[in-house]
Amino acid sequence: MPIFFFQVRDRFNDPVGDGKELADLAAARQFATVSARELICSDVRNGILDLTGSIDIFDEERIHLTTLKYAEAVLHVIPPGAG
């Protein structure tokens, strides 16, 4: 299985960690989605809702494949008449 690397780009810009062995790019994107949701939830527990971050996905040669924006990781529901 290929190895993918993930770079979180938010107000902290965490360094790229160890690679994650996943079946394909779709699985890597799903992993990034779950990770983004966990990061968003952690912020919300501290009273912050910041959807400006993203997670870059790289292959094992560190070639950039795609970017998942935090805003893509969640469904936006806005009450009628708001915003």
| Res 58 pLDDT > 90 | yes
- For the chain, the average pLDDT equals 93
What was the pLDDT predicted at 83? 63
| Mean pLDDT within 12-28 | 88
List all residues 6 or more positions away from 32 whose beta carbon is below 8 Å from its beta carbon: 6, 55, 57, 68, 73
| Mean pLDDT within 18-34 | 96
What was the pLDDT predicted at 17? 77
What was the pLDDT predicted at 81? 85
